[in-house]
Amino acid sequence: MKEKYLAIGEELDQDEYFICDYKVKSDLSIETAGSRIAEEESTGTWTRPTTLTEDIYKKYGGKVVMAEGNMVRIGFPVVDFSGDIGGVPQILSIIAGNLFGLDSLKKVRLHDIQIPSVITERYPGPKFGISGLRKLLDRPEKPLVGTIVKPKIGLPPKEFAEYVYQAGKGGLTNSKDDETLVDQDFCPLEERVSAVSEKLDLLEEEGHMMIHAHNVSTSGHEILDAADIALENGARQLMVDVLTVGFSGVQALAEDPSIDVPVHVHRAMHGALTKDPEHGISMPVICKLVRMIGGDSFHIGTYGTGKMHANISEELRSKEALIGDMHGIVRTIPVSSGGLHPGHMTDLMEKSGNDVQIQAGGGVSGHPDGVRAGAAAMIQAVDAAYEGISLDEYAKTHEELKKALERWS
Ligand code: RUB
């Protein structure tokens, strides 16, 4: 049977097609492998249905326009994504659906996407984004610097809130729940938010603006109720995990008009999709979707400086996906987090630039003199890197940084 779905060399109109680049490993020729993906994800199946008319094929069929080496580019007509119901789940079912399970393909990685404006226009994008967060926190240029309350779980609300207060006194603008903490008996959401809000108000009275992202990741039908509990108790920011909850969870928070605080998006579980460079979905793809649906801040990694596995070129592409031009959508602030301490700041900021939210849990709470000193050391390290002064030089006149570097370098 002659391969359909091939249109090698055809120029695609970016307003008319959702364009996807896949990296493919297969015994098939790269053209045939691409054709299998386009077929499975648009008008076809494993055989030619007698019901597939030429008209249907032409209007709705995906097109393989490039097949070189191990890469294919496929354009899916925008009409395949039309209708009021479907959203990101429907987008993913096409661009990242059955194709991963096709037996004829050994591995496939969705490397990048270009979303047409006719689709991005359906979503509001971030309510705050980089400029909104900077304004809220009165931090116009330098990186936002934050912590994750540690231990990951176990602190009761009062001690939890005291941690946040001490971090604020040390100068941090941001803090957050860990991804594993939601509403456990030892630290219920309502009590935690209320205790933290009191401390954030106190910090504000004392002249320091800080926000804390409260984790409301839960079952779909409960997420808006959880957000309400947090907001009624003074939450200044919400947090949701895009992969354990799903994209629809982020959207539910970001699109709800009554939610007037920034939405921090975590990515726990992403390694299952992103770690194998030959298979799965790349982080830049997830970043574009999170930005489109309204995540104000999103974790992208630490460019190889911290504890988590890094694919540096992909992290640079993730940064661009969040802050580069995307049909005029508000920019999402990239979050670098995971095993960071003050000694990493120069190397990290060389890659991240200043439009980044840096978060350290152990790198704040593990400071020999406690959370406040650890927070101060992080701020000092970021100031040093921002001003182009070496950390060792800056530490000569900054005691907290000096002790942090002695502990971790
Ligand atoms: C941070 C931490 C976060 C990571 C997740 O704690 O564990 O959950 O940011 O990683 P610590 P990523 O600072 O003590 O390591 O941001 O790569 O998704």
In sequence order, which residues have a C-beta less than 8 Å from that of residue 161 and are 6 or more positions away? 192, 195, 196, 198, 199
How far is the C-alpha of 324 from the C-alpha of 356, rounded, in Å? 13
How much of the chain, in percent, has pLDDT values that exceed 70? 100
| Cα of 106 from ligand 1 centre, angstroms | 31
Sheet order of strands, 280-281 included: 63-68, 71-77, 17-25, 107-114, 280-281
- C-alpha torsion sign, points 402, 162, 134, 265: positive
Average pLDDT for the chain = 97
The pLDDT score that the predictor gives to residue 116 is 98
Mutate to test the pocket of ligand 1, among 264, 283, 308, 337 (most ligand atoms within 8 A of CB): 337
The pLDDT score that the predictor gives to residue 409 is 77
**E strand spans, 252-373:** 263-266, 280-281, 297-299, 333-337, 357-360
The pLDDT score that the predictor gives to residue 3 is 77
- Ligand 1: residue whose CA is nearest its atom 1: 338
Selected catalytic residue, list 23, 63, 150, 341: 150
How far is the C-alpha of 160 from the C-alpha of 183, rounded, in Å? 13
145-204 pLDDT tens trace: 999 999 999 999 999 999 999 999 999 999 999 999 999 999 999 999 999 999 999 999
Give the Å distances, CA to CA, from 146 to 24, 35, 314, 368, 392: 39, 47, 24, 18, 22
48-83 pLDDT tens trace: 999 999 999 999 999 999 999 999 999 999 999 999
The pLDDT score that the predictor gives to residue 337 is 98
Q: Indicate whether residue 177 lines ligand 1 (CB < 6 A).
A: no
279-293 pLDDT tens trace: 999 999 999 999 999
- Pick the atom of ligand 1 nearest to 307's CA: 15
Query: Tokens 């994750």 identify what position?
Result: 148
| Cα of 98 from ligand 1 centre, angstroms | 31
How far is the C-alpha of 294 from the C-alpha of 292, rounded, in Å? 6
Spell out the domains of the chain, with CATH numbers in brackets.
Answer: 2-120 (3.30.70.150), 129-408 (3.20.20.110)
- Ligand 1: residue whose CA is nearest its atom 4: 338
Is pLDDT of 1 > 60?
no
CB contact at 8 A, 254 and 332: no
- Pick the atom of ligand 1 nearest to 362's CA: 14
Selected catalytic residue, list 214, 264, 266, 367: 266
| Cα of 359 from ligand 1 centre, angstroms | 8
Give Cα 336 to chain centroid, integer Å. 10
Helix H segments across 256-344?
271-274, 283-293, 312-323
Beta strands 17-25 and 263-266: pairing type? Answer: unpaired
Q: What is the mean pLDDT of residues 107-127?
A: 97
Query: Tokens 């799903």 identify what position?
Result: 246
Is pLDDT of 2 > 90?
no
CB contact at 8 A, 222 and 184: no
Q: Indicate whether residue 318 lines ligand 1 (CB < 6 A).
A: no
- Ligand 1: residue whose CA is nearest its atom 2: 338
Is pLDDT of 259 > 60?
yes
Q: Is 270 a catalytic residue?
A: no
Give the Å distances, CA to CA, from 399 to 207, 285, 393: 23, 42, 12
Q: Indicate whether residue 264 lines ligand 1 (CB < 6 A).
A: no
| Cα of 191 from ligand 1 centre, angstroms | 24
Q: What is the mean pLDDT of residues 28-44?
A: 97
| Cα of 365 from ligand 1 centre, angstroms | 13
| Cα of 121 from ligand 1 centre, angstroms | 32
| Cα of 337 from ligand 1 centre, angstroms | 5
Is pLDDT of 132 > 70?
yes
Q: Is 221 a catalytic residue?
A: no
Q: What is the mean pLDDT of residues 234-239?
A: 98
289-307 pLDDT tens trace: 999 999 999 999 999 999 9
Q: Indicate whether residue 361 lines ligand 1 (CB < 6 A).
A: yes
Q: Indicate whether residue 246 lines ligand 1 (CB < 6 A).
A: no
- Pick the atom of ligand 1 nearest to 306's CA: 15
The pLDDT score that the predictor gives to residue 391 is 98
